[in-house]
Structure 1
Amino acid sequence: MSSLLVLGIESSCDETGVALVRAEGEGVPTLLAHALHTQVAMHADYGGVVPELASRDHIRRVIPLANEVLAQSGTALEAIDMVAFTRGPGLAGALLVGAGLACALGAALDKPVLGVHHLEGHLLSPFLSADPPEFPFIALLVSGGHTQLMRVDGVGRYELLGETIDDAAGEAFDKSAKLLGLGYPGGPALARLAEFGDPEGFKLPRPLLHSGNLDFSFAGLKTAVLTHAKRMESAPCDQQRADLAASTQAAIVEVLVKKSLNALKNSGLKRLVVAGGVGANARLRDDLNAACAARGVRVHYPELHLCTDNGAMIALAGAMRMQAGIEAPSRQYAFDVKPRWPLDQLPLAA
C-alpha cells in the first residue's frame, strides 16, 4: 500500500475530535495533526451528558476542528485519501453528526469512507504513543461503560477473555463520585479527592476478585459506597469523604490489576496494553507498572491526551484496518450508525 492520508472524525459522546494520520506500507501510521473539543463545561451544569446538547455542539465544532487539523498539517482538503468516522457505539444523534460530515466530504471529494468501531479505536490508540506495543498482547479496555480483557493477536484478531456483567469500572468511578457529591466528570474528581484520603479507610468489596474467571462486576461496590455515603450525611466530614474516595479507587484498581495479571498468566504473554479513559488514572498506572515490572511484563498506554475520546484513534484504526486488508472503504454514502455495537460483531481478520 502506498502512502495514505486518513482524516478521522470522532463524535460518539461528549468530545468532538478530528485528526489526520499518514499510513505508509505496513508501518504504524503517523499522527500528523489532531484537534479536540470537550463538552465537559457545558454538561457540568446538568451533572452528566445531555444527548441533544451534545449533538448540537458537535455540529458547531466539527467543521472548525477539521479546518484546524488541515491547517496544522499543511494539507489541502483534496489531498485526503479516505475519511474514517466513528460509526458506534455511542449516542445516536452525536454519531450521526460525524457520520454525516464524513460521508458529505467523501461524496464531495469522491473519496471512500470507513465507519470505525469506537472501542477498536481505543484498543489501538497506544500504537500512537512513544512506546508502541507489538502483537500479540493482552488488552485491558476500560472506557466509559466498557470494561473488557482481550487477547489481541493483530488488527481485527481479538478474543474476548472477560467483561463486566453490570457496571463497568468507569461507571463505578462516576457513580461513586456522584454519591460523594462530586462534580462532573466524576472519575477525575474522585481521583483528585482520593489523593487526600486513606485507601484503607473503608472496607469495601472487591466483586468477583476470586471468581476464577476474568469477568468484572462493580455494581456491588457502588452499593457499598452508597451505604457509607448515607451514613456520613448526618455528620459530613471532609476527611471521611476523602477516605471513602481513596478506598473506592483502591477497590476498583485492585480488581483491574489482579484480573489483568490473571489474564497474562493464563495466556503466557508478557505484554499488556491499557486503553480507554480510565487508563489515565494515576493509581491504576502506578499499581500496574509495579505489578508488571515484578513479573517481567511490558505495559503500554496511550499518551495521556489520547486516553479520552479523540479523532486520532479513529483515523488510526481506519488506517490500520486498511493496512491489514480487513475491510475496504466504501463510496456508498448512504450511511447509518450503530449506537449499540458489540466489538465481536465487527468484521474481523480471517
Structure 2
Amino acid sequence: MSNALVNGLAGAGGGIIAQIITYPLQTVNTRQQTERVAKQKGLITLDGSRSSPATRGTIFQILQVIRTEGWGGLYSGLKPSLFGTAASQGIYYYFYQVFKNKAENIAAARKKRGLGDGTVGMFSWLVVAAIAGSLNVLLTNPIWVLVTRMQTHTQAEKKIMEAKSEAILREASESGSMDLSKFEDKLAELDSTKPRPFGTLHAVREVYFEAGITGFWKGIIPTLIMVCNPSIQFMIYESSLKHLKAKRAANKRELKNVNALEVFLLGALAKLGATVSTYPLLVVKSRLQAKQEIGLNSALRYTGTLDAIIKMVRYEGLHGFYRGMSTKIVQSVFAASVLFMVKEELVKAILILAGGSRKILLNIAK
C-alpha cells in the first residue's frame, strides 16, 4: 500500500472524527457568518429586526438552537458534511502526499548535484499544499454548498417569515380598513406554519432551481483563494515538526519520534495562524453559498464575490468580515488538532495492519 493511499485513508478517518466532535460549533459559526448586522446601528440588523444572534455569545446561541430546534438543529447537514469531510480530507491528503513525495525526490536529486541540503523548503511546502488544495476545492465544492444551505435553512426561513409578517402589517396599515380580522387571520396562519423538512435532496433542488448547475460552485473564487489556508497551515506544521525533530537530533535525545500530544499542539498552532489570516474569505464564501433571497433588501443579496465584498464594506464595515471569528478559532483549531493527532495514529495502525497482513500472506505462500 502506497504512503499516499495510507495518508489519504488516515486523513479521511481523522477528518470524520474531528467533524463529529466539533460540528455544533461549525453550525453556529456558519449562522454567525451569514447574519447581517448594519454598522453603527447596534442590534438593528439589515433586515430590520432588532435582535441579532451574531451579537450574542456562542454558548447562548448553542442553547438557543437546542431550545428552538432540538439537538438536531446543531447537526443540520451532518450527513453530507461527513461525506464531504471524508472526500475532502481523503482527496487532499492523497494528493498532498503524492506531491510531497515528488518535492522530496526533487530536493534529494538537487542535493546529489550539490544544490541544497536535500530538504524541502517553505515555498515548496506552500506549492504542494496549494496544488492539493485546489484539486480538493474543485472536486468537493458542491458538497459544501449543500452543507451551508442545510446549516442556515432555519435561519433563512425565519427571515422569510419575518418579511411576510412585515408585509401583512404594512398592507393593513396602508389599507386603512377597520376590519382587521382578515389580517389577523393571515398572521395567525403564518405563525402556525411549521418549518418544512429540509434534507439533502431539498437542498439540491433549491440550489439547482435558484442558479442551475453553476450554483453548486458558488463561492468557488474565495474558496480557491482560501487554498492558502491549508497551505499556511501545513507550512507552519511541517516547519515546526522539522524544527522539533532537528532539535531533538541535535540534543541526541533517545525519544526522537513525536508523540500524539505534540502533534496535537503543533496542529493547533498551525491552524490558528491559518484561520486568523484567511477568515474574511471564509465569511464571504459562506455568504455566497447561503440562500440569497431573504427579504426585499438588495443589501442581503450578492451576485458574486466582488459584489459581496463591496456590500459588506458599505453596509457592515470591516467588522462584518470577522463575524463569528472567535467561534471559528475554537472550532477549527480543536478540529485540526484532533485531525492531525488521529491521522498520525491511524497511519501507524494502517501500516501495522498492512505489515501483519503481508506476514500472513508470506506464511501462507510458504
**TM-score, normalising length from structure 2?**
0.24
Greater strand content = 1
**TM-score, normalising length from structure 1?**
0.25
Greater helix content = 2
Q: Which has the larger radius of gyration?
A: 2
